[in-house]
Amino acid sequence: MQHMEILGFGYAKDPWSVYFNGQKVEGASAMQFKVLNHGYAKDPWSVYFAGNKIEGASAMNFEVLDNGYAKDAWKTYFMGRPVDGS
């Protein structure tokens, strides 16, 4: 039986994979995965919301704000989706 570490906000990992609510998060790096807040998480290459990769989001400077909002250097996101006009 493999060791499962609960990370919070629905995320967990074992030594090889990351999971959100029991479903594998495809492409996520278990060794470098970090839960941020409010369902957002990242590894060095990608950002995720509720276990889904946010296409085009910059992991390097991604920041969680309040009330479901987050931002990177180019866009603002709400619940993992880009906000129009950002």
pLDDT digit string (tens) for 67-77? Answer: 999 999 999 99
**pLDDT band at residue 79 using 50, 70 and 90 as cut-offs:** very high
pLDDT for 39 equals: 96
pTM of the model: 0.92
User: Residue 85: what pLDDT?
Assistant: 76
Q: Is 49 helix (H, G, I), strand (E, B) or coil?
A: strand
How far CA 33 is from CA of 14, 66, 81, 85, in Å, comes to 11, 21, 20, 30
